[in-house]
């Protein structure tokens, strides 16, 4: 679906859509969310957790559409009773798949976050250790009172 802000309420010509059309749209949104979660999970498992921005943005748009649908069905529960049984069954099955994909996604994101924290703590520890070398003599025979030179922690930043 090219329009992430599409709410499923009106068709392209501004006319009200049928319940069936709205359910088909939500099915496509759910299928795309499942595919995005699977791709994000593949990237997380391969250790490419720093390259997820495209997925995160698209997931956010689709989740807003899905939340709008869920709010609508909560406000008007009869909408689901008017849904054709085959579409209702497909939407129910996809909802289960999405829940599983997002549960796995949560586990992988938690692991990636923990790994990032460990890397950050290691970098900070190395910087602190380097900055607090015991006084003594350096390799060129001069008196050393701290790190031999400022330790860079990023472009233009010194520790």
Report the C-alpha gap between 60 and 37 in whole angstroms: 12
Contacts of 16 (CB under 8 A, 6+ apart): 9, 10
pLDDT at residue 46, rounded to an integer: 86
pLDDT at residue 10, rounded to an integer: 47
Local mean pLDDT, 10-residue blocks, the chain (159 residues) = 43 62 94 95 83 90 94 86 89 95 93 89 85 64 59 54
pLDDT at residue 154, rounded to an integer: 56
pLDDT at residue 37, rounded to an integer: 94
Indicate whether 141 belongs to any domain: no
Indicate whether 36 belongs to any domain: yes
Domain that holds residue 119: 19-133+149-158
Indicate whether 71 belongs to any domain: yes
Indicate whether 139 belongs to any domain: no
Q: How far are the Cα atoms of 61, 119, 128, 129, 152 from residue 156, in angstroms, in the given order?
A: 36, 21, 18, 21, 8
pLDDT at residue 156, rounded to an integer: 55
Indicate whether 5 belongs to any domain: no
Indicate whether 123 belongs to any domain: yes
Residue 29: which CATH number? 1.20.58
Number of structural domains in the chain: 1
Report the C-alpha gap between 111 and 117 in whole angstroms: 10
Cβ(124)–Cβ(103) below 8 Å: no
Indicate whether 121 belongs to any domain: yes
Indicate whether 23 belongs to any domain: yes
pLDDT at residue 79, rounded to an integer: 80
């Amino acid at each position: 679906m090219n329009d992430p802000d599409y709410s499923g309420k009106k068709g392209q010509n501004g006319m009200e859509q049928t319940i069936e059309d709205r359910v088909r749209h939500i099915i496509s949104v759910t299928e795309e969310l499942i595919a995005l979660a699977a791709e994000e999970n593949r990237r997380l498992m391969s250790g490419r957790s720093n390259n997820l921005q495209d997925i995160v943005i698209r997931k956010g748009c689709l989740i807003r559409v899905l939340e709008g649908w869920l709010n609508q069905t909560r406000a008007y529960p009869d909408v689901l009773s008017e849904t054709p049984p085959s579409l209702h069954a497909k939407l129910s099955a996809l909802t289960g798949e999405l829940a599983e994909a997002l549960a796995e996604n949560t586990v992988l994101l938690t692991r990636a976050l923990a790994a990032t924290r460990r890397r950050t703590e290691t970098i900070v520890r190395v910087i602190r250790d380097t900055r607090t070398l015991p006084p003594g003599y350096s390799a060129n025979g001069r008196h050393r009172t701290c790190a031999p030179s400022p330790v860079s922690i990023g472009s233009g930043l010194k520790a």
